[in-house]
Amino acid sequence: MRKIVLVYSGGLDTSVCIPLMREEYGFDHIITVTVDVGQPREDIQQATERANQLGTEHYTLDVRAEFIEQYCWPAVKNNGDYQGYPISTSIARPLIALKAAEKAIELGVTSFGHGCTGKGNDQFRIEYIIRTLLPDAEIIAPMREGRLLPNGSREPWTRTEELEYASAHGLTIPQNKDKIWSIDENLWGRSIEGGHLEEPNYAPPEEIFVWTRSLENCPNTPRLITLGFENGLPVSIDGVNLSPLDLVTQLHAIAGEHGVGRVDIMEDRMLGLKVRENYECPAAVVLLQAHKALEALVCTQGELKFKASVDREWGELAYKGLWYDPLKEDLEAFTDKIQDRVTGTVTLRLAKGSSVVVGRASKYALYNEDLASFDSKTFDQSDSEGMVKIHGLQSRMYWKLRQGK
């Protein structure tokens, strides 16, 4: 009997994979694994029901706490961002693949399937983990490999063809040809793409947003919120200590109520394709903003300059799903050392889609009011005269040579 483990979301692509694997790839026994990283409860239930309907051996693995503590929190420490949005889908994929691989190892299965297309990033992220943990695994990707034609060749699937195939096999899919949004949601963010949203000049309809209010529906009164950090990690909201899961959940609600967290960008995928992406990530936007503000208070100028490059490199690695790359470990060693001092509070004003830092405090602050204040005489300003005289000395010498003097 041929067995295969399929990473299963319950959505269109992975649901179509199940009959395809039986009809075109000859698998007799399909094991579906849904990894819960914070999807809507109805999506988890739907995946279970659809897997049962399709006759698979199904498992649901709840890793929400692990996702926040082992994936989202490192993203906070490293100010995890890619081209203007807090990375969310990309950091969930390695954990999803890891848990599915562990289940395959437990069940002694050496064939592995996923529903990624050949245009996206997820094929890289998932297969990297599988090839790391199961180097000899057979990997099947029906959506990437294409639909089988009568002459034995294959051609790429279109989303419309997938919907037609699903309908022919009795699958009820909520998407349709007019509202064909592809939505991926976890505890850290929502990504919405597909259909007209792919067009750079198409205004996203309000219906695609769930976590954030429109500007018209935001409260007229701004909300002040104070976030507490210890060693670089968020621990409290307005002085109340919370578990990581509760903190993220509550912050989504607070920031989203004020319309904070919508991101609309042109994104460069790993294959070099430039695509339009919409995201909702209220908690992540606010937490990264606050974390950067606290780092700016406690870190030296040199540390901040170097960490900006570290954050950028870490974000690139995380976006690519290279969770086990040694460079990632090296970068985190530097970041973790700095986080020892990233302890304190940051106050932000949330209003009509904006989040603004209005205050920060830390016992490790590299700030001295007596030295910085213009009203203080502690700092002898005449000491600056010599430094000012030699400021830019070499560039001034170059300018003189350029003028032929």
182 is catalytic: yes
Which residue is catalytic, options 9, 15, 90, 182? 182
Per-residue DSSP letters for 286-342? HHHHHHHHHHHHHS-HHHHHHHHHHHHHHHHHHHTT-TT-HHHHHHHHHHHHHHTT-
Q: Rounded to whole angstroms, how far apart are CA atoms 168 and 151?
A: 21
Pairing of strands 57-62, 138-140: unpaired
Q: Which of 50, 64, 93, 360 is catalytic?
A: 93
CA torsion sign, 227 to 222 to 208 to 40? positive
User: First and final CA of the chain: distance in angstroms?
Assistant: 87
Instruction: Based on the residue annotation, tell me whether 13 is a catalytic residue of this protein.
Output: yes
SS3 255: helix
SS3 88: coil
- Do 159 and 180 touch, CB atoms closer than 8 A? yes
Placement of tokens 């690519």 in the chain: 320
Torsions phi, psi for 272 (to 5 deg): 95, -5
Tell me the CB-side half-sphere exposure of residue 397, using CA atoms within 13 A. 6
Asked if residue 318 lies in contact with residue 87, where contact means CB atoms within 8 angstroms, the answer is yes
Question: CA-CA distance, 253 to 213, in Å (whole number)?
Answer: 10
DSSP E strands in 206-261: the ranges are: 223-230, 233-237, 240-241
Known active-site residue 93? yes
Is 281 exposed, middle or buried, given 0-12, 13-18 or 19+ CB atoms closer than 10 A? buried
- What is each CA distance from 247 to 189, 232, 280, in whole angstroms? 14, 15, 17
| Residue 41 designated active-site | no
Q: Using CA atoms, how far apart are residues 358 and 229, in angstroms rounded to an integer?
A: 16
- Catalytic residue among 9, 13, 15, 64, which? 13
Which of 154, 211, 174, 212 has the alpha carbon at shortest distance from 9? Answer: 174
Query: Which is the catalytic residue, given 122, 184, 190, 213?
Result: 122
User: Which residues are known to be catalytic?
Assistant: 13, 93, 122, 182
